[in-house]
Chains A and B, each alone.
Chain A
Amino acid sequence: MNQNMSSNTPLIELRGVTKVYGRGAVSFQALHGVDLTITQGDFVAVMGPSGSGKSTVTNILGCLDVPTSGSYLFQGVPVEQLDRNQRALLRRNYLGFVFQGFNLLARTSAQENVELPLLYRGETYQARRAAAQAALASVGLEGFGHHTPSELSGGQQQRVAIARAIVTHPSVLLADEPTGNLDSKTGHEIMQLLTRLNCDMGITVLMVTHEPDMAAYARRIIHFRDGRVERIDSQEGRT
């Protein structure tokens, strides 16, 4: 990650991105030309009814999928020209994922779950251990390393998932409905944690949600409707 990059340099740039699923008569266009710019250090919430294309745009932003047309520049790199493995390396080095369903490895300790991305980065045992413990500590789960997901509450599991996402110090944290499976109190705690990571560690947070309460934590809210960006609300004066 380029440390000298000013906070106004676009980290993510979508230019006329469209996405068509299927071919011929059964094809379905999920995105109709999306333009979007996200700068480093931003905290963006993506909202919209189901079928509005917010999941599709998240998958594209997460380099899990490629646009049918248009361009996606991630730190100036045209993602649509990368192959499967190059996109995997991009995810490994610059992106962190948090999912609605937590998606932790079952019967695997929190420590090992958090270490997983480091394992793929080929880090040593000591480095993995130390980094995972630090990440768990930064989400407030110090000493929970040996617990397996089934021994943890939903909120704790989501914290482990966040620790796993930030253990590699990514540029962007992509959270897909991170509070969707949690009660509102725990949801707010998770949102506070994300806000803190955004402010303290400077991680760009991109969150998909349908709860206005949770979206209120973001600096900007991007509303999607029918595969287009409907409007963008700025709320710099958030609580």
Chain B
Amino acid sequence: MLWNTLLLALREIRRNVLRSFLTMLGIVIGVAAVITMVTLGNGATQSIADQVSSLGSNLLIVRPGQRLGPGSSVAGAPNFKIADAEAVQSQISAVRTLAPTVARGLTVVADGRNWSTSITGSTNAWFSTGSWQLADGREFSEAEERGGQAVCVIGETVRRELFGTQNPIGLSIRIKNFSCEVIGLLVSKGQSAFGSDQDDVVVMPLKTVQRRLSGNQDIAALRISIKDENAIEQAKKQITLLMRERRNIAEGEDDNFSVLDTRQISETLSSTTRVMTTLLGAVAAVSLLVGGIGIMNIMLVSVTERTREIGIRLAIGALEREVLLQFLIEAVVLSSLGGVIGVLLATAASISLATVMQLPYLFNPGINLLAFGFSAAIGVIFGYFPARRAARLDPIDALRHE
């Protein structure tokens, strides 16, 4: 009987293609909107997570002062020395690699072209700590690091701005009053989670920067890669204790340095996008609900319009529940079909929007199933009332209906 009723419902939908399509439209748009919003939101979350992890995995950054961002060197918060870096490296077992860094914003010149960039002084550990790979050339040699020689590894943006399409390896760039040989090129990483260009960088041996650019032995930050993700909290505590000791901070006094955890940043940013995703998804869900009301509206009109037909069906012996089921199935088929079309539309829209917005497209089976299931449920909920009205019609009145 179910199969026959389904057949009846399908015939009815086929008989009114345009009306059926318009009825479905609300559901189509609702389902498509929900899925697209959530899929793009997930893509954005993923892209932020990717960008943060591109800073380096399990990365801790120790800096003097307490505030994040520029101007973090609060007065009275002295920079680190190389001995601090060595102490952390040797005394904390969870440390995988440690890169002491100094940075300077300067203009570099090559081939008559200027480019204002950030000069970072560090050791070879900087590459592995920050998950950097070389596209070409080599890292620093031991002699270059020890002697503070004028060599550098440049990022993709610097290469493009100074050398255009040329291969930069072996060429030299000019910084202030000295010339520096390019020995390596970094693989591009793109934008960071904070919107800055990670490829806009020139890396030199630590001593080169200290001697030729800063003129002191200070270290601005320690970039530390931790062996095991689970050991991060522990390592943070140990580093804090060690640094407090080395910097002679009395008990009860605040730290004059900060230990930053990239995972924290990632979580903060991800939770922000998740909230946005939920919000947009909820707005889209309202449109799905409106689509359901549209179905109820059309089904009610349909019941009135088809009163005589219902009368005929009842007269020739259709049971109340058969008429109820027919109208209910009609509503469910309409809304489910709308759901299917919505899912397809959402897939197309998500892929193209993700491409335009440069976000990764992540197929999310959960939200697709949920949205489809919800659309079918809407058919049942909003189809029931009109269906019951149809089933309870009096056959005599229904037959007399014009």
Contacts and interface: CB of A to CB of B under 8 A. Distances in A.
A89 B319 contact: yes
A108 B395 CA distance: 20
Contacts of A59: 396
A84 B322 CA distance: 13
Given A59-B396, A120-B322, A64 B315 contact: yes
A103 B308 contact: yes
Contacts of B8: 119
B317 A92 contact: yes
A91 B320 contact: no
Interface in B15-36: 15
Given A64-B395, A99-B399, A107-B15, A88 B317 contact: yes
B388 interface: no
A108 B309 CA distance: 11
Interface in B302-335: 308-309, 311-322
Contacts of B322: 120
B143 interface: no
Contact of A91 (B15, B316, B396): B316
Contacts of B318: 88, 92, 120
Contact of A117 (B15, B309, B316, B395): B316
Given A59-B396, A99-B399, A105-B309, A91 B315 contact: yes
B246 interface: no
Nearest to B395: A64
A224 interface: no
A95 B395 CA distance: 15
Chain B, interface SS category: helix
Contact of B1 (A62, A104, A122): A122
B317 A108 contact: no
A181 B257 CA distance: 99
Given A103-B312, A119-B8, A64 B317 contact: no
A3 B215 CA distance: 118
A177 interface: no
Contacts of B399: 99, 103
B11 interface: yes
Interface of B: 1, 4, 7-8, 11, 15, 308-309, 311-322, 395-396, 399
28 contacts: A59-B396, A64-B396, A65-B396, A85-B320, A85-B321, A88-B317, A90-B317, A91-B317, A92-B317, A92-B318, A93-B317, A99-B399, A103-B308, A103-B311, A103-B399, A104-B312, A105-B309, A108-B11, A108-B15, A116-B313, A116-B316, A117-B316, A120-B313, A120-B317, A120-B319, A120-B322, A122-B1, A164-B316
Given A85-B319, A112-B11, A164-B316, 16 more contacts: A64-B315, A65-B396, A84-B320, A85-B320, A88-B319, A92-B318, A103-B312, A105-B312, A108-B15, A116-B316, A117-B317, A119-B4, A119-B7, A120-B322, A121-B317, A122-B4
